[in-house]
Amino acid sequence: MTVTRRCSSRLANADCKASEESNGSKNGVYVRKKRLKSTTEITPNSKTEHGSLPDIEDFSYGKIEATFGQKRGKLEASDHLSSAGKKKHTLTLQRMGAESIVSIKPKDICKTVEPPVNWEEVLKGIRDMRVAKEAPVDSVGCGRAGSFLPPKERRFSVLVGSLLSSQTKDHVNHGAVQRLHQNGLLSAESISNADEASIRSLIYPVGFYMRKAGYLKKVADICLKKYGGDIPSTLDELLALPGIGPKMAHLILHLGWNDVQGICVDTHVHRICNRLGWVSKPGTKQKTSSPEETRVLLESWLPKEEWVEINPLLVGFGQTCCTPLRPHCGECLVNNLCPSAFKEAASPVSKKKN
C-alpha cells in the first residue's frame, strides 16, 4: 500500500507540473527561471547572424528601459519606444551578466513633440563658443580618419575609426587608426588577412581593444565578401555588421556616403541634450535612459538641416565646456538658458601653497 501511494503521489505531481507548463502557469505557481540568454523580437538583421556579438557602443549604457520579471526570468522591453510605421532598431541589454537583444521602435508620439523654448538661441550660443575654442573632435575626430585616402579606402577607414571610437578619447582613437595605416592595415583585405593579435597590439589602448580587434576581423571579412572591400551603403546593412549600432551606423552614413538618415548621438550629445532639457521621457520630465532614446526624441523636433552639424557641435562643446564631470558653467554663454547650470560640482579651484 505504501509503495502504491508513493507512486500515485509522484504521478499526480508530474501530471500537475505538466498541466501547469501546458497552461502557461495560469495559477502563477510554476515559473521557469534563469533563461538569461533568450532573445525577444530579434529583427532580420540581428547580430545573431554574426555570432551574437553586442554593439560595442552599448557597453556603457546600463539604463535601458527594461524590467526583469520573476527576478532573473523574462526580459520585458518597455513600450515607451514602441510604435508602428518606423524601422526597428536593436539595442543590446547587459543585465546580471546576460546579453539579450531586444527590438525597439520609435514612438509615434514623437511626431507631436514641441521644440524646446529658446533652442535656437542656445544653439547659436554653443556655435559661438565652439568657434572661439577648438576641441579634439575638430582635429582628430572620426571624420578625419583616412581623409588622405581614395574614396573606397576612406569609407572603410571611417568604419574602422567609428568602431574603435566607442569609450575612447579622440586622440587615442586617432593614434590607433594611424598605426593601422602605417602597418598597411587600413583596408578590408589587409585586416581580413591579418593576425588578430597584431591588430590588438596596434589598436591598444582603445577601450575594449581585444573585443574590437575581433569585430574588425569579422567586419573586414563581411565587407570583403559581400561588398568587394567597400562598406555597406544602407542603414540596415550597417546595423547588421558585428559591433555596429545606431550611433555608429548614422555616423558612417554621414561621413562615408553623405547620406543623412538620422542624428549620430553619442555620450556627449546624450548628456548635453538632457542637461539642456531638450529631451525627456514622454509624458515626464525625467532624463532619457540611453543615447538611442535621445536620438529618437531629438529627431522628432530638430530640423533636418541641423542633423549633421549637431553631433560635432555638441561633442566639441562637451569636450571643452559641458564636460561629464564638473562642467564649466561659469564659462558657458548659455548658462542663463540651461536648467542644469551650476547644479553640478564646478571645477575645483587649486589651492595656493604657502
Q: Which of 352, 232, 337, 228 is nearest to 275 (CA)?
A: 337
User: Which residue among the candidates 87, 247, 281, 304 is catalytic per the annotation?
Assistant: 247
Catalytic residue flag (residue 247): yes
- Secondary structure of the chain in HEC code, one letter for each residue: CHHHHHHHHHHHHHHHHHHHHHCCCCCCCCCCCCCCCCCECCCCCCHHHHCCCCCHHHCCCCCCCEEECCCCCCEEECHHHCCCCCCCEEEEEEECCEEEEEEECCCHHHHHCCCCCCHHHHHHHHHHHHHHCCCHHHHHCHHHCCCCCCHHHHHHHHHHHHHHHCCCCHHHHHHHHHHHHHCCCCCHHHHHHCCHHHHHHHHCCCCCHHHHHHHHHHHHHHHHHHHCCCCCCCHHHHHCCCCCCHHHHHHHHHHHHCCCCCCCCCHHHHHHHHHCCCCCCCCCCCCCCCHHHHHHHHHCCCCHHHHHHHHHHHHHHHHHCCCCCCCCHHHCCCHHHCCCCCCCCCCCCCCCCC
- 100 within 8 A of 38, measured Cβ to Cβ: yes
Residues identified as active-site:
247
